[in-house]
Copies of this chain bind each other. A is one copy, B any other.
Amino acid sequence: MGDTDGTRQRRRGDTRQRIQDVALELFAEQGYEKTSLREIAERLGVTKAALYYHFKTKEEIIVSLFEDLTRPIEELVEWGRQQPHTLETKREILRRYGDVLQNAAPLFRFMQENQATVRDLSIGGMFKERMAGMREIVIDPDAALVDQVRCISALFTMHAGMFVHLELEGDPEDKREAVLEVAIDLVTQAHGGAKGSGDQTR
């Protein structure tokens, strides 16, 4: 008897993690400003003060989430920089970017829907950097303006992908693939490639 089995017990040590989970859920659902620490604390069954033991400020919570969840983008950008700027590289970047977005969907949804707020949080700057990094490894600064736009559009398409799921019918996996295909098409065209779905380059 006692705390032997973990069910419903104060799993000690993981509180920080639980705060992050609940916070992200609420931030994504309601927005940053509209989510109060009281709400987070209540949903966790702890006191507001407890949150302050784990995070110095409200902002630190979102910052920690951001840092934890966007590392894959940093890594992707770093990887991208080291690759030759070929079309195939870019395709691979988009594929990997798709995975990244899917894995941290709630955070990205949050970033997307709270841009105004995010802008003057410290993560605002970091996010801009990450995005600039992505642009850098996907856009060729010497290409024609239309082609640069095509690449940006490819990235936006990927982002849009997170919402497309809600507005279009069909199997989720199919939609994911369709989104990726359109994005890849766009960079392909930006590279002077023909339109159409995929195989012709291989």
Residues of A within 8 A of B (CB): 30-34, 110, 112-117, 119-120, 132, 135, 145-146, 148-150, 152-153, 156-157, 159-160, 164, 167-168, 170, 174-175, 178-179, 181-183, 185-186, 189, 194-195, 197
Q: Please give the distance in Å from A96's CB to the nearest CB on chain B.
A: 19
Contact across chains for A175 and B149 when beta carbons are under 8 A apart:
yes
**Contact B135–A164 (Cβ < 8 Å):** no
Q: Which of B110, B117, B194 contacts A33 (CB 8 A)?
A: B117
A153 to B168, CA, bound (A): 12
Q: How far is the CB of A20 from chain B (nearest CB, A)?
A: 18
Q: A146-B182, A150-B182, A156-B156 are in contact. List 11 more A-B contacts (CB 8 A).
A: A30-B120, A33-B117, A34-B117, A132-B167, A135-B167, A145-B168, A145-B178, A149-B182, A152-B160, A152-B167, A152-B168
Chain B residue contacts of A135, Cβ below 8 A: 167
Instruction: Flag if B113 contacts A115 (CB, 8 Å).
Output: yes
